[in-house]
Amino acid sequence: MKLRSLISLCISIVVLAGVMAQIADAQNRTVLNEAQRISCDQFTVVTRTPNGASVYALKHPTAEMLTAIDRGLTGLFEVARKNRYRSRLNYRDYTIYIARADREKDSAGAYSPDIAVGAAQYTGTAYDKGGFIYAAGIVVALNPCAFMIAEHTKDFDRVADAVRYEGEHLVLYHNDRSRYSKTADHSNGGGHPILQ
């Protein structure tokens, strides 16, 4: 399944998790600074999805983007409940940063808006594109729950999937710390979905 392999790569870097854990309960400003550092974007637009998730963006997101984010979170909460997880299953628990895509197409030419980030622990893996990798989504902070995806102008199902998959790491962090630790880093294999 191509979609799955494209989106399976997301980063919730263990190193980053350690740093962010030290600033648990960080002010939104700190998380915003981290998102801006990762993406080199300035998020000047703040809004909410129809269901209440916080969204930071470069320009006002389209209705399709916002409803796709809600759809991804809805799927996430459903599968989380199936796994008997209860913490952080509200739309308002989540902040999503919509960054400018650093590429629009993948190496096969398929539409694939992704964000380039430092390779870190993915250095030397198949994902490594020369010191950086392309990711469909990136966890920005564990507490409060925040992640980043790239702006899409079509294929909004890919947005919903990226949201659902990034959200898996956050749900696991708050509900099942050992499973979170085992699945946070994809550089040694393993992708998404994690929650079945």
Contacting positions for Zn ion (CB under 5 A): 10
By beta-carbon proximity to Zn ion, the closer residue of 15 and 63 is: 15
By beta-carbon proximity to Zn ion, the closer residue of 56 and 122 is: 122
By beta-carbon proximity to Zn ion, the closer residue of 68 and 138 is: 138
Q: Edge-to-edge strand order for the sheet containing 111-118? A: 103-105, 111-118, 132-135
**Shortest CA distance to 43 belongs to which of 33, 57, 29, 53?**
57
Closest distance between Zn ion and the C-beta of residue 7, in Å?
A: 9
Which residue's C-beta sits nearest to Zn ion? 10
Closest distance between Zn ion and the C-beta of residue 10, in Å?
A: 4
DSSP 85: -
Q: Report d(CA 142, CA 146) in Å as an integer.
A: 7
Closest distance between Zn ion and the C-beta of residue 186, in Å?
A: 6
Residue count of the chain, please give it.
196
By beta-carbon proximity to Zn ion, the closer residue of 10 and 17 is: 10
Helix, strand, or coil here: 35? helix
Closest distance between Zn ion and the C-beta of residue 129, in Å?
A: 18
Start-end of H helices in 63-119 = 63-82
By beta-carbon proximity to Zn ion, the closer residue of 21 and 46 is: 21
How many other C-beta atoms are found inside a 10 Å radius of the C-beta of residue 182?
12
Closest distance between Zn ion and the C-beta of residue 46, in Å?
A: 25
